[in-house]
């Protein structure tokens, strides 16, 4: 079994994974397509490393920036 590095949106896209974004404020979970998020990052001049993306995301329900990003396995 091999391990896959998931450090950037490109890694998620290459491995055909979606992103799971968990809000630690209100517990909402969002599943995002990496290509859509990658295009948004490119338009706005943002980096696409996961730690940079996570810093810029905001919960659509409560507005909190306290979110965690990871792979959306099985969704």
Of the candidates 58, 52, 75, which has an alpha carbon nearest to the alpha carbon of residue 23? 58
* 3 has pLDDT over 80: no
Structure tokens at 5: 């590095």
* 31 has pLDDT over 90: yes
Band (pLDDT 50/70/90 cuts) for residue 1 is low
The predicted model scores a pTM of 0.86
**Spatial separation of the C-alpha atoms in residues 6 and 62, rounded to whole Å:** 27
Number of domains into which the chain is organized: 1
* 37 has pLDDT over 70: yes
Question: Residues 12-34: what's their mean pLDDT?
Answer: 96
* 35 has pLDDT over 70: yes
User: Is 23 within a domain?
Assistant: yes
- Residue-range definition of the domain harbouring residue 13: 9-69
Alpha helices for 4-64 (secondary structure H): 9-14, 34-44, 50-56
User: Is 2 within a domain?
Assistant: no
Band (pLDDT 50/70/90 cuts) for residue 75 is low
Q: How does strand 19-23 pair with strand 29-32?
A: antiparallel
Are 51 and 11 contacting, i.e. CB atoms less than 8 angstroms apart? no
């Amino acid at each position: 079994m091999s391990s896959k590095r998931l450090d950037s949106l490109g890694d998620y896209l290459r491995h055909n994974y979606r992103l799971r974004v968990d809000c630690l404020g209100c517990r909402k979970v969002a599943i995002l397509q990496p290509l859509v998020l990658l295009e948004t990052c490119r338009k706005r001049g943002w980096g696409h490393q996961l730690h940079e993306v996570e810093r810029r995301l905001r919960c659509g329900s409560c507005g909190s920036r306290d979110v965690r990003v990871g792979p959306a396995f099985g969704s």
